[in-house]
Chains A and B, each alone.
Chain A
Amino acid sequence: MAETYLSIQNVKKSFGQTTVVQDFNLDIAKGEFVSFLGPSGCGKTTVLRMVAGFEEPTSGSIVVSGKDITRLKPNQRNIGMVFQAYALFPNLTVAQNVAFGLKVAGVSKADSDARVKEMLGIIKLPMDEFGARYPYQLSGGQQQRIALARALAPSPKLLLLDEPLSALDAKVRVSLREEIRSIQQKLGITTIFVTHDQEEALSISDRIAVMYGGRAEQVGAPFEIYNRPASKFVANFVGTLNVLEGTVSDASNGAVRVAAQELSLKGKLNGSKNGDALSLALRPEAISLRRRPDHDATLSGTIADVHFLGSVIRVRVGIGGSVVSLDTFNTSHTPPPVVGQPAEISFSSGDVLVLH
């Protein structure tokens, strides 16, 4: 990794007897886009608020560009932040909102005006058309873009995004997240993005910190997080996952018994002993509804459910007590499977994630 720009070191946060963040460590390089992904109450927003200065860590430190900012007040940190609820100042126009940080910093009127115009240009809401409008005259997506411009106008060291897309409708959410990523890359600003939406995190992040119970369960690139989850929680939380319960029948040969059928998972059992119970996880896209030459593992079952979704058919296959979900492409010359019909699924044993 490139040189560390933001370092969150052994940070812990407790409210009374409740510890919401424990032993959180993360180093972020300059210009990196890191997402904190996790369910509600996992501590992701609390870590973000500690970086912003709105919460003080119970212990640990936060260092930006070699300077310890742990005890600095939010207005001394030179950090930009975008909030879920937009938080535009209702009494100020768009231009005044964007200029707010510059005015507080004592930037001259001429420089401030030029910067406001530049920022509104970057977010594609031109000064001439939008500068004099008030926040209530804008749509949610426009308000959030103004909030982004306002956060970026004073050239902050860091950009913090606290679920900025949650209040927007699905279509605006997708376009705005792409715009955020493109502006972030253009300006090269180090960014932390908090979200509970895995698709958002996977699509725009350089790295993702998956959080659970106040800890970072796994930190890695989206590809790594999705394909090599470090824990059962990460595997379940990120993407759709089929979990089959099995028992090690012959540890030396990597044989595992699943629903009275034998599977060979040589080299994946990590020191498990005969009789150990295992959870075997498979992504839907790794499974085929027929045998394939490149797939070395098969399981037999019965078609339990078929959902026709247009371009894709979602099939659920019952195997013993478990149900495996998979998608097949719709082709006009192949009819969809029939419920109750016997089925054989195949996959590569290399795609099986063994969750201990």
Chain B
Amino acid sequence: MKRSTLWAWVTFIIGASYFFIPLIATMEFSLRMRRGEYSFDAYRVVFSDDRFQATFGYSVVVAIFTILLGVLIVVPTAYWIRLRMPYLRPVVEFITLLPLIIPAIVVVFGYIRMYGSSSPLPFLATARGTDVLLVIGYSMLALPYMYRAVDTGLRTIDVRTLTEAAQILGAGWTTIIARIILPNVLIAVLSGAFLTFAIVLGEFTMASLLNRPAFGPYLQNIGANRAYEPAALAIIAFVITWGCMSVIQVLSRFAPQSANRPN
């Protein structure tokens, strides 16, 4: 074996150990609920807990609405910026990065002040209104990931020429976005969607301060009061996240390949 190959393997094994040893340890611990033998008792307890099902179901529904709102906002915006206002790209990129800089807790307190029951837009006066506000908040939190995913997707196609080709064939804006642009960036949109899904599923601050029955606060609550179940939940959350990533990988194989390849 060559010296360089040996070092590559050593680096790989150290890196893999760094990721997998804690994971294996957590997994092993989650299986030790029954004294003296391995069992899936912790998982059975978690899955049979009504609060797990309720909070997980709630977060999945919120995630779906968050993804829809994110796609509706980000796809036309990123498309229009690329097509007509490329000079605004740095500004929009900066705006989409703000959720990484401004802590979620600041945003929630802003929401509470702006949309309290005595404000002109009393989102927080009802549970449904608070859910809407939570979806809006999550869309904002997911903005850096969704915008970058879509923008990267748009970069792989010749947006301007494809738009003009569709326009000259008689297509209007809705047809262009629905039949040409969206299908060509669908994999990028799905990447953004699964990242959004993962963020929403684990988010704690907003859901907790807005007092909504989401999966994040449930994870925290279990973690603070139980021994083996939090380890089982961590493994479940890991499997869901990796499941999402795998779906992105599988779908990316079906991505339409670029036609713009001169001889």
Contact = CB atoms under 8 A, between A and B. Distances in A.
Interface string B222-237: 0000000000000000
B262 A104 contact: no
Contacts of A139: 263
A87 B165 contact: yes
Contact of B170 (A105, A136, A140, A172): A105
Interface stretch (B74-82, B192-200, B251-259): B251-259
B164 interface: yes
Interface residues of A, number: 38
B259 A135 contact: yes
A345 interface: no
Contacts of B183: 91
A80 B157 CA distance: 21
B169 A90 contact: no
Interface in B156-197: 157-158, 161-162, 164-172, 175, 180, 183-184
Contact of B164 (A74, A80, A172): A74
A87 B164 contact: yes
B170 A85 contact: no
Nearest to B257: A136
A173 B157 CA distance: 24
Contacts of A77: 168
Given A83-B161, A85-B158, A104-B175, A90 B259 contact: yes
Contacts of A134: 256-257, 259
B169 A150 contact: yes
B169 A136 contact: no
Interface string A69-102: 0000111011111010111111100000000110
A147 B169 CA distance: 11
Given A83-B161, A87-B158, A140 B262 contact: yes
Please report whether the interface of chain B is mostly helix, strand, loop or mixed according to DSSP. loop
Contact of B172 (A53, A75, A91): A75
Nearest to A82: B165
Nearest to A101: B169
Interface in B199-250: none
A86 B259 contact: yes
B260 interface: yes
A154 interface: yes
A88 B170 CA distance: 15
B86 to A, nearest CB: 15
Given A80-B168, A104-B171, A154-B169, A136 B162 contact: no
Nearest to A88: B259
A151 B259 CA distance: 16
Contacts of B180: 89, 91
B162 A168 contact: no
A144 to B, nearest CB: 9
A91 B263 contact: no
Contacts of B3: none
A143 interface: yes
Contact of A75 (B167, B257, B259): B167
Contacts of A135: 257, 259
B168 A79 contact: yes
Contacts of B262: 85-86, 140, 167-168
B261 interface: yes
B168 A75 contact: yes
B44 to A, nearest CB: 45
Interface of A: 52-54, 73-75, 77-81, 83, 85-91, 100-101, 104-105, 134-136, 139-141, 143, 147, 150-151, 154, 167-169, 172
24 contacts: A53-B167, A53-B168, A73-B167, A74-B168, A75-B169, A75-B171, A77-B168, A81-B168, A86-B260, A89-B184, A91-B183, A100-B166, A104-B170, A104-B171, A134-B259, A135-B257, A135-B259, A136-B256, A136-B257, A140-B261, A140-B262, A151-B168, A167-B263, A172-B263
Given A89-B162, A140-B262, 18 more contacts: A53-B168, A54-B164, A75-B167, A75-B169, A81-B165, A83-B161, A86-B260, A87-B158, A87-B162, A88-B165, A89-B166, A89-B184, A89-B259, A90-B256, A104-B175, A136-B257, A140-B263, A143-B259
Interface of B: 157-158, 161-162, 164-172, 175, 180, 183-184, 256-263
The 10 closest A-B pairs by CB, nearest first: A135-B259, A167-B262, A140-B263, A101-B169, A136-B257, A87-B165, A91-B183, A91-B256, A90-B256, A104-B170
